[in-house]
């Protein structure tokens, strides 16, 4: 794999440069088969098309709709990547895959993806929180870009074609779809979290970690804030086992959502699953004020005749402050003068560590993923190739890699499939030719 992303044009790679041994046994068939026309499968096809290998590729997609998840992603806008260009910082957004992705992100990361999309004429915009979207605000823009690059480069895409069996023969693989038997020397399984793709991986000898939901909202037992649904504030949230997550917290009809909750759901996806999504959690409603600072703030209010709820002006939404006082059996309309020091201190410590009982979860509609999939110690991360079966590659969500929300899950799909494309190109084209072409740019 060359160190720099190559955006070389197809014409740079004449078919005569293909290694004859890889090609000879495959007359009448396509030597490269990609299973799944999702984000990862289509991006690998597009990069291979850019590298001049499009006519060697067959993409098999089980549904009638390629890139269906890309279309619905980001609420129909597709949060395609994130404005995070440092590989180490980028890795910190991945609860699973953090260590393994460092090398790959040094070679192809968000910056390279942005460059690639812009090289295809796609206008992008970065929102305040760092999420990157197409300026059109339409995920169709990204789907069109992937599909056009692949098909114009000669890639064949067969819809309604589900791969059901995979068997390694001497040099080639035999694939059985719902329509036909096919042979190929190079296979990319980019089937997302779909069980049929995981079955193919198991058939080829891979260990799988069971699929478990990540990125979800919390239901809370006896939830007292239903009437406050829609309020968002900065808070910290944690369970008994891990560090707190900080960020915007959204009150919903059933419990909590928003970035702080989604991050916690991703980092503790396995633990939440093990408890059946029933576990104690705590919220610090005022994470920017220390306990001592809050105690002093409340005790100082005793010198004023104003109602106690005004103590929280500027630091908590008024309706939430009122609800929290009600739950603490403090009359929000009375003056702090009438509260004992002890009661105010108890209130302060409760506001810093308010207990809840999680009691179930809801899917976050804007973005969700599953963790689990192919065990990462079975993958060579220079090529995203199986260590068990040569020329069998994996990219995207099928790997036991997932990220917090923000465009990072797609970035895993882009980075892994870019590496697969480079590795396959390396096998088909001699290294020197690939490097020479990328140096010419």
Ligand X SMILES: Cc1cc2nc3c(=O)[nH]c(=O)nc-3n(C[C@H](O)[C@H](O)[C@H](O)COP(=O)(O)OP(=O)(O)OC[C@H]3O[C@@H](n4cnc5c(N)ncnc54)[C@H](O)[C@@H]3O)c2cc1C
Q: Which residues contribute to the site for ligand X (CB under 6 A)?
A: 35-41, 60-63, 68-69, 72-74, 78-79, 162-163, 190-192, 194, 196-197, 366-369, 396-398, 407-410, 413
Nearer to ligand X, 202 or 441 (CB): 202
Smallest separation, CB 399 to ligand X (Å): 8
State how far the Cα of 9 lies from the Cα of 122, in Å rounded to an integer.
Answer: 17
Nearer to ligand X, 1 or 44 (CB): 44
Q: What are phi and psi of 346, to 5 degrees?
A: -65, -40
Nearer to ligand X, 190 or 250 (CB): 190
State how far the Cα of 123 lies from the Cα of 310, in Å rounded to an integer.
Answer: 47
> CB of 104 within 8 A of CB of 97?
no
Smallest separation, CB 287 to ligand X (Å): 27
- Paired residues of 249 in beta bridges: 233
Smallest separation, CB 195 to ligand X (Å): 8
Smallest separation, CB 308 to ligand X (Å): 43
Cβ neighbors of 89 (< 8 A, separation 6 or more) are none
State how far the Cα of 53 lies from the Cα of 418, in Å rounded to an integer.
Answer: 14
Nearer to ligand X, 93 or 383 (CB): 93
Contacts of 208-212 with CB under 8 Å at 24 or more apart are 208/372, 208/373, 208/374, 208/375, 209/371, 209/372, 209/373, 209/374, 209/375, 209/400, 210/372, 211/370, 211/371, 211/372, 211/373, 212/269, 212/270, 212/273, 212/370, 212/371, 212/372
Nearer to ligand X, 43 or 238 (CB): 43
Which residue in the shown chain puts its C-beta closest to ligand X? Answer: 38
List alpha helices for 127-211, DSSP H: 139-152, 195-203
Smallest separation, CB 178 to ligand X (Å): 9
Smallest separation, CB 164 to ligand X (Å): 7
Residue 193 CA from chain centroid, whole number: 12
Nearer to ligand X, 39 or 45 (CB): 39
Nearer to ligand X, 252 or 415 (CB): 415
Smallest separation, CB 13 to ligand X (Å): 25
């Amino acid at each position: 794999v060359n160190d720099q992303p190559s955006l070389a044009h197809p014409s740079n790679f004449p078919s005569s440069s293909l290694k004859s041994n890889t090609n000879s046994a495959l007359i009448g068939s396509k030597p490269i088969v990609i299973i799944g026309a999702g984000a990862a499968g289509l991006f690998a096809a597009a990069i291979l098309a850019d590298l001049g290998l499009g006519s060697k590729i067959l993409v098999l997609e089980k549904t009638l709709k390629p890139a269906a998840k890309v279309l619905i992603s980001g609420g129909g806008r597709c949060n395609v990547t994130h404005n995070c260009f440092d590989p180490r910082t980028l890795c910190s957004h991945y609860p699973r895959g953090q260590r393994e992705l460092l090398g790959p992100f040094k070679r192809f990361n968000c910056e390279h993806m942005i460059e690639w999309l812009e090289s295809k004429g796609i206008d992008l915009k970065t929102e305040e929180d760092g999420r990157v979207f197409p300026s059109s605000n339409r995920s169709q823009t990204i789907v069109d870009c992937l599909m056009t690059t692949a098909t114009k480069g000669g890639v064949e895409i067969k819809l309604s074609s589900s791969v059901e069996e995979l068997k390694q023969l001497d040099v080639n693989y035999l694939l059985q779809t719902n329509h036909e038997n096919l042979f190929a020397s190079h296979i990319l399984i980019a089937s997302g979290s779909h069980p049929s793709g995981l079955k193919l991986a198991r058939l080829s000898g891979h260990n799988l970690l069971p699929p478990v939901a990540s990125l979800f909202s919390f239901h809370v037992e006896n939830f007292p804030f239903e009437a406050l649904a829609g309020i968002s504030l900065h808070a910290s949230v944690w369970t008994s086992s891990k560090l707190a997550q900080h960020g915007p917290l959204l009150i919903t009809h059933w419990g909590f959502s928003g970035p702080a909750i989604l991050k916690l759901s991703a980092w503790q996806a396995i633990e939440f699953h093990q408890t059946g999504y029933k576990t104690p959690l705590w919220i610090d409603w005022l994470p920017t004020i220390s306990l001592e600072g809050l105690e002093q703030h409340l005790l100082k209010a005793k010198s004023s005749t104003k109602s106690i709820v005004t103590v929280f002006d500027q630091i908590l939404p008024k309706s939430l402050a009122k609800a929290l006082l009600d739950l603490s059996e403090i009359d929000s309309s009375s003056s702090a003068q009438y509260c004992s020091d002890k009661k105010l201190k108890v209130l302060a410590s409760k506001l810093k560590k308010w207990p809840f009982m999680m009691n179930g979860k809801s899917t976050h509609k804007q973005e969700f993923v599953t963790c689990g999939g192919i065990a990462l110690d079975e993958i060579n991360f220079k090529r995203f190739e199986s260590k068990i079966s040569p020329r069998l590659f994996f990219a995207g969500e099928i790997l036991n890699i997932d990220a917090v929300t923000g465009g990072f899950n797609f970035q895993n799909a882009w980075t892994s499939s870019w590496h697969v494309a480079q590795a396959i190109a390396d096998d088909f084209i001699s290294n020197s030719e690939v490097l020479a072409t990328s140096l010419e740019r």
